[in-house]
Amino acid sequence: MLHSDTLNVNNKDGVVFLTFPKFDKVGGLVHGFSTRLGGVSEGIFSTMSFSLSLGDEKEAVFENYKRFCSAIGGDYKNTVLSDQTHTANVRVVAKEDIGKGLFLERDYTDIDGLVTNEPGALLVTQYADCTPLAFYDPVKKVVATSHAGWRGTVTLIAKNTVETMVKEFGCNTEDILCGIGPNIGGCCYEVDDPVINEIKKLDFLNLEACFNKKADGKYMLDLKEVNRQILIYSGILPQNIDIADLCTCCRSNIFHSHRASMGKRGTLALMIGLK
């Protein structure tokens, strides 16, 4: 039902999820990007959804967290949730943050990226077409995840995440492995001039690889490629990046897609944590 040439497809107790091969090869962490398969939610949220704010049943969402975390080898009681508002803000997660967002009230807002070196803490970011970014330094034992919509992309959340890892934990950019998960691809992501004009402000980009202009004056934008170039600009080695070959909009039967569903959907999750 689901195949990828660039990511590993996993099925544990009916929970279908994706992992990044470079992360799997090195080991020392748990991580996974969800699909819609293996949960208990119903209707537009079916069956695996992680949002408590879209109208899904709270009990179903908690069961989804429990099942998914168990499938990837983590503990849902140790989750730490972002507070996504399309910013480039990154928060360093400490031991006392464990449980915030699901079991404890968050004492932070406007956080689209999370970084930690705390073993057991399971960082959670959520998606329904935006670009999932995962980071792992197996030398310094640091993980991170960032949510990059087009606004977060152009304000360089990918670069901010890398710089936080370097500044706060002494990471070497050459050691950091990165994963770019399924998002709405260049095949489906049609945008207009205001978005493209923001992309063009990033003068280090090879723009020809980032978007194609259509006959009607609109553009097909590839945010995976934009973020890949930003990561390289930030010091990440090209050979240390895994990139998903899947589009959430094309495969809206497998992934929640805001554009494909016209906003009637649940959310996917990227989770990552140190063992």
pLDDT tens digits, 256-268? 999 999 999 999 9
- Taking a C-beta distance cutoff of 8 angstroms, is the pair 1, 54 a contact? no
- Taking a C-beta distance cutoff of 8 angstroms, is the pair 183, 168 a contact? no
Q: Residue 31's beta-bridge partner residues?
A: 272
* Any domain includes 222: no
Residue 124 has pLDDT above 90, yes or no: yes
Other beta carbons within 10 angstroms of residue 210's beta carbon come to 23
Residues 197, 76: Cα–Cα separation, whole Å? 41
pLDDT band with cut points at 50, 70 and 90 for residue 58 = very high
Counted domains in the chain? 1
* Any domain includes 193: no
pLDDT band with cut points at 50, 70 and 90 for residue 275 = very high
Question: Which strand ranges, in their side-by-side order, compose the sheet holding 219-221?
Answer: 190-191, 219-221, 211-213
DSSP annotation of 167 reads H
pLDDT band with cut points at 50, 70 and 90 for residue 1 = confident
* Any domain includes 199: no
* Any domain includes 52: yes
State phi, psi for 3 to the nearest 5 degrees.
Answer: -135, 145
- Mean local confidence (pLDDT), 79-96: 98
Residue written as token pair 């009990």? 59
Cut 0.95: pTM above it: yes
Q: What pLDDT shows up at residue 112?
A: 98
What are the helix (H) ranges across 100-204?
Answer: 150-154, 157-169, 193-200
- Mean local confidence (pLDDT), 202-221: 98
Residues 158, 137: Cα–Cα separation, whole Å? 15
* Any domain includes 229: no
Burial 256-275 (b: 16+ CB within 10 A, else e): bbbbbeeeebbbbbbbbbbe
Domain span at residue 63? Answer: 8-188+239-274
Q: Residue 125's beta-bridge partner residues?
A: 270
* Any domain includes 90: yes
- Taking a C-beta distance cutoff of 8 angstroms, is the pair 271, 69 a contact? yes
Of the chain, the percentage scoring pLDDT greater than 70 comes to 100
- Taking a C-beta distance cutoff of 8 angstroms, is the pair 127, 268 a contact? yes
What are the helix (H) ranges across the chain?
Answer: 21-26, 58-72, 150-154, 157-169, 193-200, 223-233, 258-261
* Any domain includes 207: no
- Tell me whether residue 85 is exposed, middle or buried, using C-beta atoms within 10 angstroms of its C-beta: 0 to 12, 13 to 18, 19 or more: middle
pLDDT band with cut points at 50, 70 and 90 for residue 56 = very high
- Tell me whether residue 106 is exposed, middle or buried, using C-beta atoms within 10 angstroms of its C-beta: 0 to 12, 13 to 18, 19 or more: middle
Residue written as token pair 């119903």? 42
Q: For residue 14, give the CATH number of its domain.
A: 3.60.140.10
State both tokens at 221.
């934008």
